[in-house]
Structure 1
Amino acid sequence: MVEPSSLHLFLMAILQGVTELFPISSLGHSVLVPGMLHWSMNRDALWFLPFIVVLHLGTATALLLYFWRDWWKLLKGLWRAKGGAGNEDARLFWMLVVGTIPAGLIGLALHHQIRHLFGMFDLIAIFLVFNGLMLLIGDSLKRRHPVADLTSLTWGKAVVIGLAQSIALVPGMSRSGATLVAGLGAGLDYASTARYSFLLATPIITAAGILEVPKLLHHNIPGELLHVILLSGVLAGVFAWLSTWFLMRWFSGHEVSALRPYAIYCMLMGAFAILIG
């Protein structure tokens, strides 16, 4: 087994931690950046699946740590609701469940069919440009709709936001970007949309990692490479936490055009990748 460069794995971990939460497509960057920099990333190698699983678990852990107070509050609300007393926390918890199910089912159904897109560098670059256009649409929706918080979210809108996550199956399209745009379309303000998007991401990213964990037992990975992979997971988690910290403050401090910088970046990055591809 040809072992990959430790530096490249560490850089990929940082890239994953940042791009999973920023609305700029982690899958797209995991293909475009190694391709543009001519890194050796064999996606069929025995080490690659464990590496991706560990990165996802690191990101999910970061989200759980950052939002642990929110999850604790939601679980307490769910417990209180068992006594027959309805409350907003229990309602939000079940909306997150409802929003998670559709994307999870679509992901399981179409995951293998979409895998062949991972080798299409130019197509992924084009999708990244489309992702930028989607973010611009999100900003325009924010200006057209009345601003509300999560208490105004309906069950139908929760399903739509949850379905939007499935767009991330296409490399180049961002899960967080799609849910942010769907949330803005539902009339939520930037801060509420970001909070709901990141809470909604936690079970999806966690499930993506846990479902693959049993497969790790079948891979005989050398000890030194295993240590690098585990450290990569820690790096992904640290940068995911920092990204969440930054983005929550970014969306809380911007009333208009909060998605525009990321839209411009995606369109420029995609266009550049097309030119050199």
Structure 2
Amino acid sequence: MPLLLTAILLGIVEGLTEFLPVSSTGHLILASEIFGYQADQWAAFNIIIQLGAILAVVVLYWRTFWAVAQGMLKGEKISWRFAMNILIAFMPAAIIGLALHSYIEVLLGAPEVVAVALVLGGIAILVLERIIKDHDVVGVAEIPAGRAVAIGFIQCLAMIPGVSRSGASIMGALALGVERRTAAEFSFFLAIPTMLGATTVEMWKNKTALATSQVGWGLIAVGFVVSFIVALVVIRWFVGIVSRHGFQPFAWYRIIFGSLALIWLLAR
């Protein structure tokens, strides 16, 4: 497959899946099996183009971030609570991710793990949607600090490829009493420092390879732009779906797609 076409396809996959509870990393790993490209050559690419999807959050919620920044300068407690909740929820991923980085990389080469995690994650979402009824927290700034930290630890489950960072953080928030829209938006905002940190580590680790590899900065730019444009559309659609139908459609997608992927991987 031509390199440019692969970059575009991966950008679409990233933009479609980064903020849905279906695991963008898992889909990118399975994409390497389906499209037949060499996954190790595209590993840094897959991490860095996540910034395109993150930029979509910044663009769509710029008024929120601007209001928070102004409020912090004015000393408003609600703005400081908003920022602190994002920061303290990010810390577990930063610490655990650095400590377990080498183990995580091993799992990234196991597509069967992704398929199983997709199925189990879908079942977990269906169960949680059925048993969780009380949602008393509305608004990111209103999440108690202890719950924000707990959501951060739950997000770390996504270090297993196929679990889904957004899925873990959203369902963790729901389990801790955060209402659906707030849980989804908190996951969006939490992705910004989490993905910035992961991308910084990946760029530093691969700085020499990126300068000489076929999959260099030009293709990364293509994937970045594509993931940004696709994520702009997906985020708005996702919030609307969640508000009306909850997370069950994504749970069933995970179960069906994960099962088909596992059958294909074992049968080939």
TM-score normalised by structure 1 residue count: 0.87
List per-residue Cα deviations over 1:106-157 (Å, max 9, x = no partner).
11111211211222222221111111022213312442x1443025421111
Shift of the alpha carbon at 1:184? 0.9
RMSD: 2.1
Q: Report what 1:34 is aligned to.
A: 32
Q: Report what 1:52 is aligned to.
A: 46
Mapped to 1, the partners of 2:185 and 2:242 lie a distance apart of 9
Relative to structure 1, is the Cα distance of residues 96 and 69 closer, same or farther in structure 2, using a 3 angstrom cutoff?
same
Relative to structure 1, is the Cα distance of residues 212 and 114 closer, same or farther in structure 2, using a 3 angstrom cutoff?
closer
Mapped to 2, the partners of 1:234 and 1:198 lie a distance apart of 18
List per-residue Cα deviations over 1:152-178 (Å, max 9, x = no partner).
421111111111221111111011111
Structure 1: state its 5+ residue gaps.
none
Q: Report what 2:62 is aligned to.
A: 68
Q: Report what 2:236 is aligned to.
A: 245
Q: Is the 8 A contact 1:137 1:181 kept in 2?
A: no
Aligned letter for 1:62?
Answer: A
Aligned residue for 1:41, secondary structure, equals: coil
Q: Report what 1:234 is aligned to.
A: 225
Shift of the alpha carbon at 1:226? 3.9
Q: Report what 2:7 is aligned to.
A: 9
Structure 2: state its 5+ residue gaps.
none
Q: Is the 8 A contact 1:4 1:41 kept in 2?
A: no
Task: Count residues in correspondence.
Answer: 263
Q: Is the 8 A contact 2:48 2:202 kept in 1?
A: no
Superposed, 1:1-277 pairs within 5 Å as 5-35=3-33, 37=34, 39-45=35-41, 48-81=42-75, 86-143=76-133, 145-150=134-139, 152-215=142-205, 217-219=207-209, 220-221=211-212, 226-252=217-243, 254=244, 258-277=246-265
Q: Is the 8 A contact 2:7 2:222 kept in 1?
A: no
Relative to structure 1, is the Cα distance of residues 132 and 217 closer, same or farther in structure 2, using a 3 angstrom cutoff?
same
List per-residue Cα deviations over 1:214-268 (Å, max 9, x = no partner).
445413347896433311110011112211111122223x2xx511010001011
List per-residue Cα deviations over 1:50-100 (Å, max 9, x = no partner).
42243122122112112211111222222222xxxx521211111111111
Please state which structure has a larger fraction of its residues in helix.
2
Mapped to 2, the partners of 1:90 and 1:33 lie a distance apart of 40
Shift of the alpha carbon at 1:20? 0.8
Identity of aligned residues (%): 28
Q: Is the 8 A contact 1:17 1:235 kept in 2?
A: yes
TM-score normalised by structure 2 residue count: 0.90
